[in-house]
């Protein structure tokens, strides 16, 4: 395998405190993981209190709650990973073993590399956007303070986010601890989101690989005689791919549900913030944040749609690569049953909805509707 194989996900899991090499996905650094969660919680509630102090200021309300939602989502994803770490680790380990066995064939290895390359595009795009949020939260306040110093000769301290902390950040002795703690809070939300969301992308693409490897076996069937059909092998491989997709769905069902129940609120709040306020030290942070959130929800919808379409493609490959006229009636019936089962797609569902491209359109429309509603209340 290439060096980039599982590289983004392994690094993200290690930063979050997990042992990516363990089949049980052990929490290797629980103290560090606790610090990350503590930094999230200690910033979420001051931002919520600050936003609720003046409900008439919709810009401040939406500006802060967009970040609070992401912090809450990252905390929830981390807790879900801790609870389901054994199931997640087992699925990762099983896919690694399947890919290793399949890599003995050059044709199958090429499929595995191609899918992991596609995952690399998605995972790296979100990782880079998330790191852009961290960098913007760290640099923008310093640049604004430096600009103020150049203009008026006074360095006015600003923090990455606006909140009511229990310390006065206008005092020099408190500013730097609050500043670094604020950057850590942003980084914690980004790191935990990267660990969960890039892992979802990798799992989807490598489950899709199993359907594609089945298609390769079925295409090889066309060059064999009907009585040499390895029907039991095909059914076993198809059931295995469906089982992997089902495991993936069970692991991420709650995460995806929470993600999309709150994502449209995030989008409309961030869009409203840009439509109502001018330039400040938070603008670069919010801009990077908006891009990261959009990539985040798009990657889930793309993954769900990709898995659904690839699982459906198996039925057409079965139909196209079998000599129906030369098969005995009994075996022909079994192939028909395989086609019928493959016409029921594997899906990523979240209790109330399926994760696919129509869901992304629903999120965009709902966010637009809420944005229009907020603008009617704004003075």
> Which pTM was predicted?
0.90
pLDDT, mean of residues 128-137 = 90
Closest CA to 199 of 263, 248, 240, 241: 248
18-59 confidence digits (pLDDT tens)? 998 888 899 999 999 999 999 888 887 777 777 777 667 777
User: Residue 242 has what pLDDT?
Assistant: 93
User: Residue 278 has what pLDDT?
Assistant: 59
In the numeric block, which tokens belong to residue 219?
């295409």
Check: CB of residue 320 under 8 Å from CB of residue 335. Answer: no
298-353 confidence digits (pLDDT tens)? 999 999 999 999 999 888 887 777 766 677 776 777 777 777 888 888 999 988 88
- Residue ranges per structural domain of the chain: 7-377
H or E segment and range at residue 61? helix 58-83
More confident residue, 191 or 378: 191
Residues in the chain, total: 379
pLDDT band at 96 (very low <50, low <70, confident <90, very high): very high
Cα 301–Cα 307–Cα 309 angle in degrees, nearest 5 = 100
In angstroms, rounded to a whole number, what is the distance separating the alpha carbons of residues 311 and 231?
A: 18
User: Residue 331 has what pLDDT?
Assistant: 72
Measured on CA atoms in the order 301, 303, 308, 313, is the torsion positive or negative? positive
pLDDT band at 257 (very low <50, low <70, confident <90, very high): very high
pLDDT band at 209 (very low <50, low <70, confident <90, very high): very high
pLDDT band at 222 (very low <50, low <70, confident <90, very high): low
Contacts of residues 166-171 at CB distance under 8 Å and 24 or more positions apart, as own/partner, are 166/46
């Amino acid at each position: 395998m290439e060096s980039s194989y599982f590289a983004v996900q392994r690094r993200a899991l290690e930063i979050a405190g997990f042992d990516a090499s363990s089949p049980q996905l052990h929490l290797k650094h629980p103290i560090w993981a606790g610090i990350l969660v503590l930094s999230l919680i200690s910033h979420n509630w001051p931002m919520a209190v600050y936003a609720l102090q003046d409900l008439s200021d919709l810009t401040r309300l939406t500006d802060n709650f967009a970040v609070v939602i992401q912090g809450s989502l990252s905390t929830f994803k981390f807790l879900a990973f801790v609870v389901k770490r054994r199931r997640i680790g087992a699925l990762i380990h099983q896919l690694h073993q399947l890919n290793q066995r399949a890599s003995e064939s050059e044709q199958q290895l090429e499929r595995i590399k191609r899918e992991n390359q596609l995952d690399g595009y998605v995972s790296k795009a979100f990782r880079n956007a998330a790191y852009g949020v961290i960098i913007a939260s760290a640099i923008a306040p310093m640049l604004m303070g430096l600009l103020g110093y150049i203009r008026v000769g006074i360095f006015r301290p600003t923090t990455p986010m606006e909140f009511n902390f229990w310390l006065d950040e206008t005092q020099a002795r408190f500013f730097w601890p609050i500043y670094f703690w604020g950057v850590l809070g942003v980084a914690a939300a980004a790191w935990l989101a990267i660990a969960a969301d890039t892992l979802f992308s990798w799992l989807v693409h490598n489950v899709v690989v199993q359907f594609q490897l089945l298609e390769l076996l079925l295409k090889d069937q066309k060059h064999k005689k009907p009585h040499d059909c390895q029907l039991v092998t095909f059914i076993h491989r198809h059931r295995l791919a469906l089982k992997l997709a089902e495991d993936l769905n069970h692991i991420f069902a709650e995460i995806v549900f929470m993600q999309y129940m709150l994502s449209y609120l995030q989008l409309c709040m961030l869009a409203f913030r840009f439509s109502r306020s001018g330039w400040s030290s938070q603008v670069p942070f919010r801009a990077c944040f908006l891009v990261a959130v959009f990539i985040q929800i798009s990657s889930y919808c793309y993954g769900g749609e990709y898995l659904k379409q690839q699982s459906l493609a198996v039925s057409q490959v079965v139909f196209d690569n079998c000599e129906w006229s030369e098969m005995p009636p009994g075996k022909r019936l079994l192939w028909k049953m395989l086609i019928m089962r493959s016409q029921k797609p594997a899906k990523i569902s979240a209790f109330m909805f399926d994760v696919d491209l129509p869901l992304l359109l629903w999120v965009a429309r709902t966010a637009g509707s809420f944005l229009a509603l907020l603008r009617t209340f704004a003075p």
